[in-house]
């Protein structure tokens, strides 16, 4: 019985990867929409600002640090032309989406258990880990969509 549990526990990373990949079908369109909303306004957001956000998310295993970084960028935006542009602002929408990813992480664990019948060894720790992975993937999708949208704007000469 213990050997069987060890086998199923060792399969958890594969199961987690599967549900994370499926979640991207939802997250990529959300990132695209957030960037499209940003580009509706004349803004001073530069690619490097999102590159730095990606770097912060890759340098830590703490979502709190990523959230803190976004709030810091919002605070620095004294002219409301980057992180605080729009109603609701780009930064506040981003914070909300990143917080929502925590609930998504819990839901992904439930989905994985339902689909595959395999539970993570430590559910609380796994939810935190999945949340961080979702944040990294979402931030990466934001960056890629920003680069794409920026290229379209340059092509159009706007």
- Please give the mean pLDDT across all residues of the chain: 91
- For position 116, what pLDDT does the model report? 85
| This prediction's pTM | 0.90
Regions in the chain scoring below 70 on pLDDT: 1-9, 158
Q: Which two tokens stand for residue 1?
A: 């019985």
Q: What is the DSSP letter of 18?
A: H
Burial class (CB in 10 A: 0-12, 13-18, 19+), 48: exposed
The total number of residues shown for the chain amounts to 158
**Count of other CB atoms within 10 angstroms of residue 85:** 20
């Amino acid at each position: 019985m213990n050997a069987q549990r060890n086998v199923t526990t060792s399969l958890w990373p594969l199961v987690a990867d599967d549900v994370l990949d499926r979640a991207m079908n939802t997250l990529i369109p959300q990132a695209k929409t957030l960037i499209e909303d940003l580009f509706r306004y004349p803004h001073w957001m530069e690619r490097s600002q999102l590159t730095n956000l990606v770097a912060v998310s890759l340098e830590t295993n703490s979502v709190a640090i990523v959230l803190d970084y976004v709030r810091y960028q919002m605070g620095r935006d004294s002219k409301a032309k980057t992180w605080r542009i729009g109603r609701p602002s780009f930064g506040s929408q981003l914070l909300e989406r990143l917080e929502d990813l925590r609930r998504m992480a819990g839901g992904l664990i439930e989905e994985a258990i339902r689909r595959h019948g395999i539970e993570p060894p430590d559910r609380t720790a796994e939810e935190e880990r999945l949340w961080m992975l979702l944040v990294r993937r979402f931030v990466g999708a934001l960056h890629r969509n920003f680069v794409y949208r920026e290229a379209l704007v340059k092509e159009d000469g706007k």
